[in-house]
Structure 1
Amino acid sequence: MTEKLSKSQPYQPLLLRIIHNSQGIFAVIAMITAFWTYNTYDGRFGKISWLPDWQEIEGIHGTFGLFALLILPFFVVYTVHRGNKKLIQENSFIQLKLINKPIWWYSLHRVVNTLMIFSLTFATFTGKMMDEKWLPQGELNHFWYYLHLISLLILILTIGFHILSSIKIGGYPLLISMIEWHIREKDNWNLWLNNLKVFTENWRKIIKTEWAKLSPHFKILELTILLIIIGSWILSILK
């Protein structure tokens, strides 16, 4: 339902909410099932005894990990082109010297957001490099398995800091704005079809224009992550 909201109330574009929340849900479920998989087949670094061993959990983890990987390029492209104000800026490290000032928290939030995207990329890449037969066969010392465990720990930390820094700069209203159902007129579904038609008819020009708008460091960021994602598919096929 389209509804007028207070201008002072945080509002997130509908497309951002769809992509961001889908990415977040799949990533969180993948992390939960990853721990359950570790708990079932490994447990060398600590184990929850009351959590039952479930042989099928690895397949479930792989499925949600795949969903997270499939959404990731769309999330990256949208964030870099439409949400880059929330990513690391060219002067972010200079602003991080202004400790405890408002700009320090905003800069920290941007750095954390960028690190979270890289940690998600790292987790999906290392997961793609694994073989689903390793753990059931008791093969626990593979290089990619260790890297995948490390990547999941990093991802947990970056998501945690992402939530905490979001609360710090925007409070709970900012978090709520990511899950609210209300949409403004500019996000009306009727406009989506027209925007899609315009894009399909002029996609080359639009992509060229969007790319030209990006700062050099955002171009590097987008290319790096997209190449890693493409590489994960190519390497998984080759191996």
Structure 2
Amino acid sequence: MALSRPYQPLLLRILHGSVGLFLMAAILTAYWTYDTYDGRWGKIPLPTFPDIEGIHGTFGLWTLLIFPAFIIYAFHRGQKRLIQPNTLRKLTQVGKPIWWYNLNRVTNTLALLALTFAVFSGKMMDENWLPDGELNHAWYYAHLISWVVMVGAIALHLLMNAKVGGAPLLLSMLTWEFREKDSPTLWSGQLSRWWSSVQQGAWRKWFQPMTTMIALEIAILVSLVAAWIIPLLK
């Protein structure tokens, strides 16, 4: 593989691709669900499909299942792609390359927050609300807003990555080629070493020092756990 080509770690491509695939399916079925059961703010003549809400929920569920692993990867091995301590200062250099790179980091981070909002608000809904015509629940409105925000965040994410790296960067997420150090055959050994370090107490240093980004990661992961627990308590 030519070294001049952008290279994305294989695990990033798998997690990013899986989340992206289920997310796009969830977005499309979300609109179809809105079109079938609501349509108060405009609609297009899609076929009425009563089971579409269940299909949308399935795609949303798969997104939620994979998303925590992607968050952990993004905030650790992919942390350089997210907001940095000096990002706000560098955003004052409008129009310069460093400005675009840091704006890209901002949009990457916002996309993660938008998806967190979307999956959490979706889990707070009751699957019977829309079929029963109950369209005025606060969590339903929150979920509608979350998907509008999510579409905007994805658009910005794609635009900023295209601006920073162009088509080669976008296409680098779609290739299955990988370098020797990224071989899946090495993952079991790496996982075993990681688990051994956890058993020896390495987890005590995970949150030291407590930075803003670590706090944000914890907040996202806690909200994803809460998305599972809260509905069980209703």
**TM-score after normalising by structure 2:** 0.96
1:36 aligns with 2:32: yes
C-alpha offsets along residues 136-181 of structure 1, whole Å, 9 cap, x if unaligned?
0001111000000000000000000000000000011111111101
1:89 aligns with 2:84: yes
Work out which of the residue numbers 219, 222, 225 in structure 1 matches 2:217: 222
Cross-structure match for 1:62:
57
The CA deviation at 1:209 is 4.6
Which residue identity lines up with residue 177 of structure 1 in the other structure? Answer: S
Work out which of the residue numbers 166, 170, 178 in structure 2 matches 1:175: 170
Cross-structure match for 2:42:
46
Which residue identity lines up with residue 40 of structure 2 in the other structure? Answer: R
Which residue identity lines up with residue 130 of structure 2 in the other structure? Answer: L
Cross-structure match for 1:77:
72
Cross-structure match for 1:194:
189
Q: CA 1:182/1:215 → structure 2, altered by over 3 Å: closer, same or farther? A: farther
Measure, in 2, the Cα distance between the counterparts of 1:193 and 1:12.
20
C-alpha offsets along residues 26-74 of structure 1, whole Å, 9 cap, x if unaligned?
111101000000000001101011x101011000000110111111111
Unpaired segments of 5 or more residues in structure 2? none
Measure, in 2, the Cα distance between the counterparts of 1:206 and 1:40.
51
C-alpha offsets along residues 73-111 of structure 1, whole Å, 9 cap, x if unaligned?
111110000111110111111111111100110111011
Identity %, equivalent residues: 52
Measure, in 2, the Cα distance between the counterparts of 1:133 and 1:52.
20
* Alignment RMSD (CA, Å): 1.3
Which residue identity lines up with residue 201 of structure 1 in the other structure? Answer: S
Which residue identity lines up with residue 219 of structure 1 in the other structure? Answer: I
Work out which of the residue numbers 2, 7, 12 in structure 2 matches 1:11: 7
Q: CA 1:208/1:172 → structure 2, altered by over 3 Å: closer, same or farther? A: farther
Please tell me whether the aligned partners of residues 87 and 110 of structure 1 are also in contact (alpha carbons under 8 angstroms): yes
Question: What SS is found at the alignment partner of 1:118?
Answer: helix
Which residue identity lines up with residue 26 of structure 2 in the other structure? Answer: A
Cross-structure match for 2:156:
161
Measure, in 2, the Cα distance between the counterparts of 1:125 and 1:144.
10
Please tell me whether the aligned partners of residues 125 and 228 of structure 1 are also in contact (alpha carbons under 8 angstroms): yes
Aligned residues: 233
1:234 aligns with 2:229: yes
Measure, in 2, the Cα distance between the counterparts of 1:83 and 1:118.
16
The CA deviation at 1:200 is 2.9
Unpaired segments of 5 or more residues in structure 1? none
Please tell me whether the aligned partners of residues 81 and 210 of structure 1 are also in contact (alpha carbons under 8 angstroms): no
The CA deviation at 1:230 is 1.3
Question: What SS is found at the alignment partner of 2:76?
Answer: helix
1:131 aligns with 2:126: yes
Cross-structure match for 2:111:
116
